[in-house]
Amino acid sequence: MEKFLRPLGRQLTRPRPKYPYAVPAVSYARRYLTVPHTVPALKDKSLFIQKCFVNGEWVAAESGKSFEVQDPATGKTIGTCPEFTPEDTHHAIAAATTAFPSFRKTLARERARLLRRWHQLMLDNADDLATLITWENGKPFADAKGEVLYAASFFEWFSEEAPRITGDTIPSSIPGNRIITLKEPVGVCGFITPWNFPAAMITRKVAPALAAGCTVVAKSPSETPFTANAIAELGLRAGLPKGVVNIVTGLDNTPAIGKLLTTHPEIRKVSFTGSTNVGKLLMQQSSSTLKKLSFELGGNAPFIVFDDAIDLDAAVAGVVASKFRSSGQTCVCANRIYVQRGVYEEFSRKLAEKVKGFNLGHGFHEGITHGPVINERAMTKVAEHVRDAESKGGKIIIGGSKAEDLGLNFFHPTIITDMTKDMQLASEETFGPVAGIFPFETEKEVVELANAAEVGLAGYFFSKDVRRIFRVAEALEVGMVGVNTGIISDPAGPFGGVKQSGFGREGSKYGIDEFLTIKTVTFGGMGEPLQD
């Protein structure tokens, strides 16, 4: 087992292209010169932190080693972060372990106030946080600002949940016994999060963990570590006690850090958001100490437009929101767009019109609606899906190629019609700005196609027939359904998947359960009659 896991883990980490050396110098210079953006200065420069956060302090790796983080649009180095080893990570786990006994005893109201202060500080520093997100992730500044508000909303939501953690009193089936339950924090939690929402993926885990009274060691994504660092610094300013939240970073050492987080006996809970393959590896590793797990993994969302859709323009807007948000790099992005024959031509034409209006470019430029994809590996996958569809009869009606004149990782938003189920895009998450439109005839046929995927995170459909709405919503094998909308992310709604999209729910009133255990306390000899 050991032999099998190590090489697999290594193979699953992304090879990081060494910019600018990965592209020919001449063409790099040309590309760079055509992207004359400047990164806005942070209002609070102390939020740009190139260290790890351990026991309330900002520290480097003991070896002094670090790795570079690049702007995905230009390949320019933004800064460096510590290449933590498992030994360095041990210090973070020790800090979280030491902090747990006193943090778990804090009043829920006290933890709620901490989360509310943290929420407010995120709002107060929203522009700086959005700047960091756009810089390291590439998404347009307006989208980045939206992410900051969404990320902060988890602190607000779980500040409200913390004081409402209550147990039950349960009638016993044994005479004279009384049963109560206590909800207790699960313990030290290990988190691993991805780059596509550098702020929201981490706050969606940290907020419920702290509300429950847990402490945390989080490994932030190597492509986007600076946003997580700025959020941790704001947590420190909000009054985070030492060791309650620790943030570690690594690139080459990622598999080893992941191994430690999933096998260390003091870590009782692992929450991971990322790809299904890495999720499977982490689950195998976690089995050695049987940790409580929640996994938010890959999706390949079907988006169905029935010919009785209330309003085709609304369905087009739904696809634009769901498919092209973050240049197609969200786990709930529509990937397979199924359109019923009666409206197929009209829908495809309307969608192409909308996509023509997109403004692709560097996220800091005024008026930009869509940014780059994250790296060369993502570019390769997107190009491969387009080539594969074209070779099997798909028609590219807009886009279909790289936009090399704009910078490093830009791909033109693309629409392909006449898609068929044997194409790669039908069975694999593209994670890029490519909308493949599949024609279909009947409700039964499309639900079968939609459910053919191994994963089941989100699914969407547009229809005005209320009976069909219930039939289809109940038949789709996914964790979340959007009916007549392409936007489903909301701190109030449970977020998570079924099948190989993972298990567990984040956000909502259920999100906190992932960080609690139920202790049953049974009182015997309680059935005596009243005393004289």
The first and second tokens of residue 329, run together, are: 């790099």
Q: Going residue by residue from 223 to 242, which x/- string records binding to ligand NAP, judged by CB under 6 A?
A: x-------------------
Is residue 331 a contact point for ligand NAP (CB under 6 A)?
yes
Q: By C-beta, is 219 or 362 nearer to ligand NAP?
A: 219
Torsion of CA 163, 204, 147, 219, to 10 degrees: 140
Answer for the pair 138, 409: CB distance below 8 angstroms, yes or no: yes
Report yes or no: 254 and 219 within 8 Å, Cβ to Cβ: yes
The residue from 47, 192, 217, 389 that contacts ligand NAP (CB under 6 A) is 192
Choices 293-301, 342-350, 405-413, 418-426; region in contact with ligand NAP by CB under 6 A: 293-301
Per CB under 6 A, 460 contacts ligand NAP: no
The question of whether 428 is a catalytic residue gets the answer no
Q: Taken in order 234, 330, 291, 260, is the CA torsion positive or negative?
A: negative
Q: Counting contacts by CB under 6 A, is residue 138 touching ligand NAP?
A: no
Q: What is the 3-state secondary structure of 186-253?
A: CCEEEEECCCCCCCHHHHHHHHHHHHHCCEEEEECCCCCHHHHHHHHHHHHHHCCCCCCEEEECCCCC
CB of 355 to ligand NAP, least distance (A): 22
CA distances to 183, 373, 478 from 360, in Å: 49, 11, 31
CB under 6 A: which stretch of 17-25, 294-302, 341-349, 399-407 binds ligand NAP? 294-302
Q: Is there binding between residue 300 and ligand NAP (CB under 6 A)?
A: no
Site for ligand NAP in 11-70 (CB under 6 A): 12-14
Q: Is 93 in the site for ligand NAP (CB under 6 A)?
A: no
Least distance (Å) from ligand NAP to the CB of residue 30?
29
Of the two residues 431 and 462, which places its CB atom closer to ligand NAP in the complex?
431
Distance CA 93, CA 54 (A): 9
* Helix and strand element counts for the chain (H, E): 16, 22
The rounded radius of gyration (Å) of the Cα atoms in the chain is 24
The one catalytic residue in 296, 376, 428, 514 is 296
Between residues 213 and 459, which has the closer beta carbon with respect to ligand NAP?
Answer: 459
Rounded CA separation 295/214 (Å):
18
Measured from the CB atom, is 117 or 204 closer to ligand NAP? 204
Using the Cα atoms of residue 129, residue 135, residue 140 and residue 141 in order, give the sign of their dihedral.
Answer: positive
Handedness of CA 372, 496, 337, 307 (dihedral sign): negative
303 near 450, Cβ under 8 Å?
Answer: no
Closest approach, Cβ 17 to ligand NAP, in A, equals 13
Quick one: the chain helix, strand, coil %, rounded to 5?
40, 20, 40
Smallest distance, ligand NAP to C-beta of residue 201, A:
6
CA distance 458 to 444: 19
**Under rule CB under 6 A, residue 80 binds ligand NAP:** no
Residue nearest to ligand NAP (CB): 258
φ/ψ (deg, to 5) at 4: -75, -40
Q: Considering only residues 129, 218, 231, 278, which one is a binding residue for ligand NAP as defined by CB under 6 A?
A: 278
- In this chain, which of 297, 360, 415, 447 binds ligand NAP, going by CB under 6 A? 297
- How many residues bind ligand NAP (CB under 6 A)? The answer is 33
Minimal CA–CA distance to 51: which of 63, 69, 66? 66
- Interface with ligand NAP includes 457 (CB under 6 A)? yes
255 binds ligand NAP (CB under 6 A): yes
- Of 415 and 455, the one with the shorter C-beta distance to ligand NAP is 455
Q: In the complex, what is the shortest distance from the CB of residue 194 to ligand NAP, in angstroms, rounded to a whole number?
A: 4
- x/- map, 344-383, ligand NAP, by CB under 6 A: ----------------------------------------
**Toward ligand NAP, which CB reaches closer, 221 or 482?**
221
Interface pick for ligand NAP out of 71, 88, 128, 429 (rule CB under 6 A): 429
Cβ burial of 53 (10 Å; 0-12, 13-18, 19+) is buried
> Distance (Å, rounded) from C-alpha 517 to C-alpha 182?
8
- Coil, strand, or helix at residue 138? coil
Interface residue with ligand NAP, options 72, 75, 86, 298 (CB under 6 A): 298
- DSSP-based three-state secondary structure for 12: helix
Identify residue 177 by its one-letter amino acid code. N
Query: What does the alpha-carbon distance between residue 41 and residue 129 come to, in Å, rounded to a whole number?
Result: 11
The reply to whether 299 sits near ligand NAP by the rule CB under 6 A is: yes
Q: CB 9 → ligand NAP: shortest distance, Å?
A: 4
Rounded least distance, CB 297 to ligand NAP, Å: 5
Q: Which of 296, 428, 443, 513 binds ligand NAP (CB under 6 A)?
A: 296
Residues annotated catalytic, as ranges: 296
Q: Interface residues with ligand NAP (CB under 6 A)?
A: 9, 12-14, 192-196, 201, 219, 221-223, 251, 254-255, 258, 273-275, 278, 281, 296-299, 331, 429, 431, 457, 497, 501
